[in-house]
Amino acid sequence: MTLPFFRVHQSHIVNLEMIDRYIKGEGGTVIILDDGSQIEVAGDEGSF
């Protein structure tokens, strides 16, 4: 069984079923969850 979780940042693991929007912009990428929470997505720097 695969759980629907993904590490998007060193300090954030997200339930993929709770993602409302994924916004990619010049200032970085942000995930908006169903409850309105915003989580910054880590870049490609290999920070974790």
Q: Tens digits of per-residue pLDDT, 12-28?
A: 999 999 999 999 988 88
C-alpha distances out from residue 8 to 29, 42, 45, Å: 10, 6, 13
What is the number of structural domains in the chain? 1
Q: Which residues form the domain of 36? A: 5-41
Between the alpha carbon of residue 30 and those of residues 2, 37, 44, 46, the distances in Å are 24, 10, 14, 17
Output the average pLDDT for the chain.
Answer: 86
Looking at residue 39, its pLDDT comes to 93
Q: What is the pLDDT of residue 2?
A: 77
Residue 37 lies in a domain: yes
pLDDT score, position 10: 87
pLDDT tier, 47 (very low <50, low <70, confident <90, very high otherwise): very low
Q: Evaluate whether residue 22 is within a structural domain.
A: yes
The distance in angstroms from the start CA to the end CA of the chain is 25
Q: Which tokens is 18 given?
A: 């709770």
Q: Is residue 9 part of a domain?
A: yes
In the predicted model, is pLDDT for residue 44 greater than 80? no
- CA dist 48 and 36 (Å) reads 25
Residue 30 lies in a domain: yes
